[in-house]
Every structure is written in C-alpha cells, then in structure tokens.
C-alpha cells in the first residue's frame, strides 16, 4: 500500500509519525509547497507525479482553504481520502466531493478523531441507554491558548482561508454535541474579536436547542494563558457524567455518594506519551479503519456526507455573527411578569 500526505506542517508530520509504523504501508509520498528535508522513510513528489506511484490512500493536511482543490484532484485519480477538519470551507464544495466519492466508490472521511475516544464513546453509550435518565442540560467548554506566532502563517484566523476558534478548535466540541445529542433546532450566539491578532472570532458562546428538546451550551476561546482542559458536562434526571481532558479523554460519573473517574473508559497520558496539542489517540483508530480495505464504512460516521451537516451549522453560526442577527438587550427600568398579581 502506498500513501500520499498532502501538506507537511504540524498535522502532516503528526500523520507521518503514525503511518511510518504501519507495516502494510510500503511507500509514503509527501506533497508540500516548499522543499522539505530528505528522509529515508518518505519521498517528496509533485501532485502530477501521483499517477505513476500506485497510490491508493491520501491524507490532506494543508491549510483549510486548499482542501477542496487537492481533494477533488485526488478523488478523480481514484485515491481514498482522509481530510483534516474542517474538511472544506464551502457547502457547495462539500456536495461536489460527496458526489465524486460516491460515483467512484471511494472513502472520503473527515478527521474527527474525538469520536473514537473511549471517554466520548462511553458518554454516548451511557446517554443512549438512558443510564443517567432524562437529559436536563449540557455544558461544553474549551479554554485554550493560541499566540500571535500561531496566527502568523497568514491563513489561520481568516474567514476566507480558515475561520476562527469555531472551525479550528471548537469544531470538535460542536461535533461531539451533534454526534451525541442530535441535530440542532435553533441556536443563539455571542462572539468577540481580537482585531490586533486576527480577523475571525477568538471567543465564542453559543446556546443550542437540539431536536430531542435537549439544551446545550458551548463556550470556547483561544485567549487563555495556556491550554486548559476541555469538558462536556451532562446533567440527567438520575445522575451526572463528565468528559474532560485536553483530548476529551477522561470519563467520570456520579455514583450515589461519590464522583468517580472510570479507569476502563479513560485514556491516561503521561507527559512523554501525551496527546499533541489536544489531538489524543483517535487518529490511530481512524487510520486503522481508513487503511483497512475491508472496512468500507467508519464505525463513528466520519464520512463527509455525514458531516456536511456540521458545515451547515458552522455557516449558520457565522451568518448570525457577521450579520448581527442575534439581538442583545440593554438593561431597562421596566417591570416584567415577575411578581405580577394578575
């Protein structure tokens, strides 16, 4: 099996380190816009060279705004694809890739690795089996740090080429909310901008109402002084569940008397073996399925046709933010229905 990695930045190098350990991968090719250091484990090639390399699988880890053009080209060359999030920026582009991949019967998956975490899977199982009863409220938080250097590459933090905290970091929490609690009926959003650092939002607060009459909230920022843990806190009529950790890798629950961290459904990382920037271990599980020729369907629904909905939600949120459709009310000296004796 021969693989091509398109883009050799942080994500591309991360994938390379995982793939080079997989025995059935014979050759790894790299496509990058600049020349990279020579290595006995890979060969740098141009995009047009893939025709003669017998490449069956590809990973796209480029800046977000060029995902589509690479994906379209590779799918038309009959290459199965795993695309870093967000898989594309435009809804129309997503629909085009879905059409091509279905026509050519190729895998075209999105790297939403948290769906493969033990903790998140156990949370979904617990809720689906109604172990904590009727869901009363869900609270998601992600407080991370991204400095000026992170945004200095010219494409991060721009709506034209990447988006803000929603598309680049909080997309994993948004994905988890939809994956576990279902589609969204309506939402309300508040965002803030640090114009000295980037164009797009770096602070976001959203309230959602899901189809099953479940209410959730998402709060995310990259303004923190360091990366603190992310969390999904679920309150039910019988109990409470909490998924925490940089990679949403720790599962805890309330017993009748104590709050217990489950060793069985948590992945504990040491400093030496910990997740890279919150990436966790999910990519290994995705790659295992993606490179398995007998596996035509992912176990966690990461095919792009299943995730077109997430892109629609993102566009709806951005339309609301940029068009200022959500009203914010001033405090007034005017009584409401509270305490009214009628």
What digits encode the pLDDT tens for the residues 130-177? 999 999 999 999 999 998 888 888 888 889 999 999 999 999 999 999
Instruction: Say if residue 262's pLDDT is above 90.
Output: no
- Helical packing angle, 91-104 and 304-323, nearest 10°: 170
Q: pLDDT at position 339, please?
A: 45
Angstrom distance (rounded) from CA 71 to CA 301: 19
Q: What is the DSSP letter of 330?
A: P
In CATH, the number for domain 117-280+303-323 is: 3.30.360.10
Angstrom distance (rounded) from CA 250 to CA 263: 8
Beta bridge pairs of residue 59: 5, 82
Q: pLDDT at position 331, please?
A: 52
In CATH, the number for domain 2-113 is: 3.40.50.720
CB 124 within 8 A of CB 234: no
Instruction: Say if residue 272's pLDDT is above 60.
Output: no
Q: pLDDT at position 259, please?
A: 78
Angstrom distance (rounded) from CA 194 to CA 199: 7
Q: pLDDT at position 103, please?
A: 96
Instruction: Say if residue 292's pLDDT is above 90.
Output: yes
Could you list the beta-strand ranges (E) of 226-290: 230-236, 240-245, 250-254, 259-261
Q: pLDDT at position 338, please?
A: 47
R_g of the chain, CA atoms, integer Å: 21
The pLDDT tens digits for 176-220 are: 999 999 999 999 999 999 877 788 999 999 999 999 899 999 999
**How far is Cα of residue 132 from the mean position of the Cα atoms in its chain?**
26
Give mean pLDDT, residues 102-111.
96
Higher pLDDT, 98 or 228: 98
Domain range summary for the chain, segments of one domain joined by +: 2-113, 117-280+303-323
Residue given tokens 């271990």 in the structure block: 281
Q: pLDDT at position 218, please?
A: 98
| Long-range contact set of residues 19-27: C-beta below 8 Å, sequence gap at least 24 | 19/59, 19/287, 22/287, 22/291, 24/291, 25/1, 25/291, 26/1, 26/2, 27/2, 27/3, 27/53
Instruction: Say if residue 246's pLDDT is above 50.
Output: yes
The pLDDT tens digits for 304-341 are: 998 899 999 999 999 988 887 666 667 576 765 444 67
Q: pLDDT at position 255, please?
A: 75
Give mean pLDDT, residues 243-260.
85
User: Which pair of tokens denotes residue 68?
Assistant: 């589509």
Give mean pLDDT, residues 24-48.
92
Instruction: Say if residue 90's pLDDT is above 70.
Output: yes
Give mean pLDDT, residues 232-256.
90
Q: pLDDT at position 291, please?
A: 95
Q: What is the DSSP letter of 35?
A: -
Higher pLDDT, 271 or 89: 89
Q: Which of 1, 35, 36, 17 is nearest to 281 (CA)?
A: 17
Q: pLDDT at position 336, please?
A: 53
Q: How confident is the model at residue 256 (pLDDT cuts 50, 70, 90)?
A: confident
């Amino acid at each position: 099996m021969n693989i091509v990695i398109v883009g050799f930045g942080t994500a591309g190098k991360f994938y390379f380190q995982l793939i080079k350990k997989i025995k059935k991968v014979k050759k790894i090719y790299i496509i990058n816009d600049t020349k990279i250091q020579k290595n006995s484990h890979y060969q740098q090639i141009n995009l047009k060279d893939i025709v003669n390399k017998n490449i069956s699988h590809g990973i796209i880890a480029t800046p977000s705004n060029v995902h589509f053009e690479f994906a379209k080209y590779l799918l038309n060359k009959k290459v199965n694809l795993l695309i870093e999030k967000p898989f594309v920026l435009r809804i129309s582009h997503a629909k085009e890739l879905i059409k091509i991949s279905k026509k050519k019967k190729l895998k075209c998956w999105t790297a939403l690795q948290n769906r493969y975490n033990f903790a998140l899977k156990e949370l979904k199982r617990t809720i689906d089996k109604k172990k904590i009863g009727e869901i009363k409220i869900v609270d998601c938080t992600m407080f991370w740090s991204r400095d000026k250097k992170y945004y200095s590459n010219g494409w991060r933090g721009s709506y034209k080429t990447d988006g803000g905290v929603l598309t680049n970091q909080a997309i994993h929490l948004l994905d988890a909310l939809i994956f576990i609690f279902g589609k969204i009926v309506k939402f309300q959003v508040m965002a803030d901008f640090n114009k000295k650092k980037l164009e797009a939002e770096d602070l976001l607060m959203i309230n959602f109402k899901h189809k099953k009459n479940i209410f959730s909230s998402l709060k995310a920022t990259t303004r923190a002084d360091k990366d603190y843990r992310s969390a999904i806190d679920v309150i039910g009529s019988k109990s409470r569940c909490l998924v925490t950790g940089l990679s949403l890798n720790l599962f805890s629950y309330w017993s009748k008397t104590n709050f217990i961290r489950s060793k069985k459904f948590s992945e504990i990382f040491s400093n030496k073996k910990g997740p890279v920037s919150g990436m966790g271990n999910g990519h290994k599980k995705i790659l295992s399925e993606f490179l398995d020729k007998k596996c035509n369907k992912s176990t966690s629904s990461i095919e792009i046709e299943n995730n077109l909905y997430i892109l629609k939600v993102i566009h709806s949120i951005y339309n609301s933010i940029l068009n200022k459709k959500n009203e914010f009310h001033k405090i007034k000296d005017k009584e409401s229905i509270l305490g009214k004796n009628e």
